[in-house]
Amino acid sequence: SDVLVENFKVGGLAKYGLGYDDLRKLNPGLVYCSITGFGQSGPLAPQAGYDFLVQAMGGLMSVTGARDGEPGAGPQKVGVAVTDLLTG
């Protein structure tokens, strides 16, 4: 079998005629792996899984930066795209 791995937002490749339903007509044995930030269905499925968004939602931004009450305090992103590094 041929294998296709993609990480576009849900439906991202379908608009170019490269979605699973399109490609399986050409190759019924195709193994199609779609990796998204929030899955294929559900209320967050259409969102992109950007590193900064995952840092914020996971609480990582709450433990970085200046202390509360100091100038510039509040949630801040980590200096490197740590979520991208840890998840591949």
Residue 32: which H helix or E strand, with range? strand 31-34
The arithmetic mean of pLDDT across residues 49-72, rounded, is: 89
| Cα(11)–Cα(8) distance, integer angstroms | 8
Does 51 participate in catalysis according to the annotation? no
Q: What pLDDT score was predicted for residue 50?
A: 86
Per DSSP, 14 falls in state G
Choose the catalytic residue: 2, 22, 51, 84: 84
Burial (0-12, 13-18, 19+ Cβ within 10 Å), 1: exposed
- CA-closest candidate to residue 38, choices 15, 9, 17: 9
The arithmetic mean of pLDDT across residues 4-27, rounded, is: 94
Kindly tell me if the per-residue pLDDT of 1 is higher than 80.
no
Q: What would the pLDDT profile of 19-47 be if each residue is shown by its tens digit?
A: 999 999 999 999 999 998 899 999 999 99
Helices (H) and strands (E) in the chain, counts: 3, 2
Confidence band of 88 (pLDDT split at 50, 70, 90):
low
